[in-house]
Amino acid sequence: MKSEILIVLSILFALAPATPTTPNNTQNISEIISSLPQDNNGVLYLGNDGVLRSVDASGRVVAYQQLSPDQIREYNSKFPAAEQDRLSRDFQGVDGRDVTNLDQLLNPDRNLLPPMTTTTTVSQQQPTSTNVPGRNTCGNVGCTSQRECRQNGCNNCLQADHMAMGYCH
């Protein structure tokens, strides 16, 4: 029964065209993240063009949202401090709202998508949770898919420009 449901959902998901979320650029990043359709085996990836894309396991864009500079900063604040410093430099002056070409939004260059990695490679690099009681440990859990994060009690696998893996949120 479970596999039948997964097959049906996979088919429906594959047939659904990638769509942007609401163009309201006043939304905070948590609202944007929760409103983007997500593939259970995919990630949310912020390319260096400032577009947050929901990408499935095969690298297909499922949904996207062009982010303002403030939203980009807010998204990048979800990562560990060392990543935040690099991302702050990498996204200096970037405004995802400048990307208006539908083909670039839906079929971006490979460098604007998450790197495809094997599970064994990622598991060797993956940070682990410290599991300190009363402390949010999701940001310390590495991931390659939404599924991994949800298995760890977190909601999303977030990744950004040139990260080999993501972090749960």
pLDDT in tens, 118-147: 443 333 334 433 343 444 578 778 999 999
Q: Would you place residue 5 in the very low, low, confident or very high pLDDT band (cuts 50, 70, 90)? A: low
Q: Is the pLDDT of residue 47 over 80?
A: yes
- Domain count for the chain: 1
Separation in Å, CA 126 to CA 76, 78, 129, 135, 146: 19, 17, 10, 19, 15
Give the dihedral sign, CA 50/71/23/65: positive
Predicted structure pTM score: 0.77
What is the predicted pLDDT for the residue at 25? 60
Domain boundaries, position 81? 2-168
Q: What is the mean pLDDT of the chain?
A: 81
